[in-house]
């Protein structure tokens, strides 16, 4: 006689039944019913080094057994110090000072407050505004959601959010300024200067931008000259440049940090996701040393969380960093990314694929009702969600994103682990084609 499972007391994130994960290895997952899945999106673009790496689990267990927790105002730990030293080798520009937290939203909250603290330290208390971009995502806390350009996520909480100035995002497929590159002469980059002038430069603390836009714009890569131009604008107005690398950092785009593709040196870099590959909940700010020195000299950073600077998290991140280095996974992301690009390009021939965009192992496939006019499906059709469900039925995990075309817009994020094999890559794209076909796309 079989006994019915008790009803779940978990407040789940979605209303439909979810498979229960049993284990993972590399780019594959198995559920408790024994079904196999290919992780075509690394969860939410998180798992760089692959699932089931015992080496990371062992490093975490060793640290947990030795000293699992200390408060960041009472102790440091050798593992955290070692991690900061090792990460500094890869950090963009002079962003070598590590502030470890527990998620990407916390990382961006920390960066916004650090930018403010820096201006206070320099005697410019009027600078408090953070400029975001029209299409962007920086987190789900109230401050980071305020800075984001995600109307559908913001709508229910509008009365709780602060109004944030926004510059046009470098999102060429749905240009917010209705222009086309290169004849636009990079008007979106120039829009930053316009916004800063309008707000009053003496009130602006920071500009936050994803060097490769994540799910909000389905992996849009800005034109090469975009980041250098906005960096120059920030410098001119004394505004700190915050590069949000929560999704695109840690090798995902074929460089340690996506900002490296442009040669720009940001003031603050925010990290998360691939930093621990999901083995521990993590986020971080990498700050330019001069910023930290100024804030420290003025009395220190009034900030912190119970679980910031966590030793077990640091142990996970250090083990992940060692694997990324030893297995040359960042270089592999570039190599594999070129193969994935070629394979995904074939999807362009499908009747409802409007765009295939990305770099490295971070790609977005935008589905349109009428690709020639870049016209999206109506949101009510739930196109991205439906294809995602079909894909899961086929044993493929992809990450849906919506809202890149006003209230509409359907994107499938394809971002496999950096350890995916060629055969798995092939299988992922075949399964994706099958899922699209099942939805008549």
CB of 268 to ligand PLP, least distance (A): 13
Of 103, 251, 337, 360, the one binding ligand PLP by CB under 6 A: 103
Assess 139 for contact with ligand PLP (CB under 6 A): yes
Q: Which stretch binds ligand PLP (CB under 6 A): 104-112, 256-264, 296-304, 369-377?
A: 104-112
Residue count at the site for ligand PLP (CB under 6 A)? 16
In the complex, residue closest to ligand PLP by CB: 104
Secondary structure, 3-state, 371-394: HHHCEECCHHHCHHHHHHHHHHHH
CB of 272 to ligand PLP, least distance (A): 4
Closest CA to 350 of 366, 331, 338: 366
Assess 210 for contact with ligand PLP (CB under 6 A): yes
C-beta separation of 414 from 41 below 8 A: yes
Which of residues 116 and 133 has its CB atom nearest to ligand PLP in the complex? 133
- Angle, helices 311-326 vs 54-67, to 10°: value is 150
CB of 46 to ligand PLP, least distance (A): 9
Q: What 3-state DSSP class applies to 26?
A: strand
Alpha carbon of 57 to those of 29, 51, 82: distances in Å?
17, 11, 18
Of 104, 249, 376, 416, the one binding ligand PLP by CB under 6 A: 104
Q: What are the residues facing 207 on neighbouring strands?
A: 131, 241
Which of residues 192 and 247 has its CB atom nearest to ligand PLP in the complex? 247
Please count the other Cβ atoms lying within 10 Å of the Cβ belonging to residue 326. 9
Which of residues 176 and 272 has its CB atom nearest to ligand PLP in the complex? 272
C-beta separation of 230 from 262 below 8 A: no
Where do the DSSP E strands lie in 237-298?
Answer: 240-244, 268-271, 283-288
For residues 71 and 216, give the distance between their C-alpha atoms in angstroms, rounded to a whole number: 35
Which of residues 141 and 394 has its CB atom nearest to ligand PLP in the complex? 141
Q: What burial class does residue 425 get, using C-beta atoms within 10 Å of its C-beta: 0-12 exposed, 13-18 middle, 19+ buried?
A: buried
Assess 138 for contact with ligand PLP (CB under 6 A): yes
Q: Which of positions 220-249 make contact with ligand PLP (CB under 6 A)?
A: 244, 246-247
CB neighbours of 412 closer than 8 A, spacing ≥ 6?
364, 365, 367, 384, 387, 388, 391, 398, 399, 400, 401, 432
Helices (H), 141-272: 142-147, 151-154, 187-199, 226-237
Which of residues 13 and 16 has its CB atom nearest to ligand PLP in the complex? 13
CB of 358 to ligand PLP, least distance (A): 14
Assess 211 for contact with ligand PLP (CB under 6 A): no
CB of 273 to ligand PLP, least distance (A): 6
Where do the DSSP E strands lie in 91-203?
Answer: 95-101, 129-133, 166-167
Which of residues 414 and 436 has its CB atom nearest to ligand PLP in the complex? 414
Q: Which stretch binds ligand PLP (CB under 6 A): 133-141, 219-227, 230-238, 253-261?
A: 133-141
Assess 278 for contact with ligand PLP (CB under 6 A): no
Q: Which of positions 43-102 make contact with ligand PLP (CB under 6 A)?
A: 44
CB of 136 to ligand PLP, least distance (A): 8
Assess 272 for contact with ligand PLP (CB under 6 A): yes
For residues 210 and 259, give the distance between their C-alpha atoms in angstroms, rounded to a whole number: 9
Assess 191 for contact with ligand PLP (CB under 6 A): no
CB of 41 to ligand PLP, least distance (A): 11
Alpha carbon of 381 to those of 15, 366, 369, 394, 402: distances in Å?
17, 15, 10, 21, 11
For tokens 């994540």, name the residue.
214
Assess 403 for contact with ligand PLP (CB under 6 A): no
Q: In the complex, which residues of this chain contact ligand PLP (CB under 6 A)?
A: 44, 103-105, 108, 137-139, 210, 214-215, 244, 246-247, 272, 283
């Amino acid at each position: 006689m079989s006994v019915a499972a008790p009803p779940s007391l978990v407040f789940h994130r979605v209303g439909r039944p979810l498979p229960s994960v049993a284990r993972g290895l590399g780019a594959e997952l198995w559920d408790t019913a024994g079904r196999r899945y290919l992780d075509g999106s690394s969860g939410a673009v998180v798992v760089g080094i692959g699932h089931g790496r015992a080496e990371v689990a062992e490093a975490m267990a060793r640290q947990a057994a030795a000293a699992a927790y200390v408060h960041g105002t009472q102790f440091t730990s050798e593992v955290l110090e070692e991690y900061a030293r090792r990460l500094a080798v890869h950090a963009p520009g002079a962003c070598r000072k590590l502030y470890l937290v527990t998620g990407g939203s916390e990382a961006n909250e920390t960066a916004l407050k650090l930018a403010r603290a820096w201006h206070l330290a320099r005697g410019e208390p009027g600078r408090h505004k953070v400029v975001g971009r029209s299409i962007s995502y920086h987190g789900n806390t109230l401050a980071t959601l305020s800075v984001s350009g995600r109307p559908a996520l913001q709508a229910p909480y509008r009365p709780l959010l602060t109004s944030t100035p926004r510059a046009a995002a470098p999102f060429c497929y749905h240009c917010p300024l209705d222009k086309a590159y290169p004849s636009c002469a990079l008007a979106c980059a120039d829009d930053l200067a316009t916004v800063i002038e309008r707000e009053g430069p003496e009130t602006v603390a920071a500009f936050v931008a994803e060097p490769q836009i994540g799910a909000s714009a389905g992996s849009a890569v800005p034109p090469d000259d975009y980041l250098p131009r906005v960096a120059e604008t920030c410098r001119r107005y004394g505004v700190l440049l915050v590069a949000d690398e929560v999704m695109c950092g840690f090798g995902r785009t074929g460089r340690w940090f996506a900002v490296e593709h442009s040669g720009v040196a940001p003031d603050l870099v925010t990290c998360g996701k691939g930093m621990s590959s999901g083995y521990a909940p993590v986020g971080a700010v990498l700050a330019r040393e001069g910023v930290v020195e100024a804030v420290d000299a003025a009395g220190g950073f009034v900030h912190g969380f119970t679980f910031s600077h966590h030793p077990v998290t640091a142990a996970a991140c250090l083990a992940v960093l060692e694997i990324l280095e030893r297995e040359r996974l960042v270089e592999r992301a570039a190599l594999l990314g070129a193969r994935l690009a070629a394979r995904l390009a074939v999807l362009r021939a499908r009747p409802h694929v409007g765009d295939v965009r990305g770099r490295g192992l971070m790609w977005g496939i935008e589905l349109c009702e009428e690709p020639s006019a870049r016209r999206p499906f109506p949101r009510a059709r739930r196109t991205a969600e439906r294809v995602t469900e079909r894909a899961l039925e086929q044993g493929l995990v992809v990450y849906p994103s919506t809202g890149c075309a006003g209230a509409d817009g359907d994107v499938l994020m394809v971002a496999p682990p950096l350890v995916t094999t060629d055969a798995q890559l092939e299988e992922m794209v075949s399964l994706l084609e099958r899922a699209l076909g099942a939805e008549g796309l």
